[in-house]
């Protein structure tokens, strides 16, 4: 898998173990990192209007009630994280921010009302 190779290459270049959060993006973003009971995985890409990845964008998962979670997109524009398992996915607002960009749209690919453990969302940003 390409993401795992990039993480491993990054870890080897820094002399750290592949599971250590050492490089931009900091994770291999695969399901092996999901912790039982952590709640659904929120994941997706942050891209610009041409479809290119937006690196180091802040992705904010804001539940109606509970603690906000801030994530960063990696070199591929990919982000992944969890919110408390007691928060309904339909009650989570997702937004993206990066200096020099503005968010133009957020597409949620996982249908509302679903009980899926994986909530996929794509953020599109426009360079200012």
pLDDT at 87: 86
pTM flag (> 0.75): no
pLDDT at 89: 86
- Are the C-beta atoms of 68 and 61 separated by less than 8 Å? yes
State the Cα–Cα distance between residues 84 and 72, nearest whole angstrom. 18
Q: What is the pLDDT along the chain (128 residues), one digit of tens a residue?
A: 434 434 333 433 434 344 333 344 444 455 555 555 577 889 999 999 999 999 999 999 999 988 899 999 999 999 999 988 888 888 999 999 999 999 999 998 876 666 677 889 999 999 99
Q: State the CATH architecture for 34-127.
A: Sandwich (2.60)
Residue 78's CB is within 10 A of a number of other CB atoms, namely 19
Domain ranges across the chain: 1-33, 34-127
pLDDT at 30: 52
pLDDT at 33: 53
């Amino acid at each position: 898998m390409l993401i795992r190779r990039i993480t491993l290459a990054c870890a080897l270049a820094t002399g750290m173990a592949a599971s250590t959060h050492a490089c931009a993006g900091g994770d291999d973003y695969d399901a092996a990192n999901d912790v039982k009971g952590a709640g659904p995985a929120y994941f997706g890409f942050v891209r610009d209007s041409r479809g290119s990845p937006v690196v180091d964008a802040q992705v904010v998962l804001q539940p109606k009630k509970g603690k906000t979670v801030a994530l960063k997109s990696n070199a591929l524009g990919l982000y992944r994280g969890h919110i408390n398992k007691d928060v309904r996915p339909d009650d989570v607002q997702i937004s993206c921010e990066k200096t020099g960009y503005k968010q133009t749209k957020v597409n949620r690919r996982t249908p509302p009302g679903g009980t899926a453990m994986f909530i996929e969302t794509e953020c599109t940003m426009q360079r200012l």
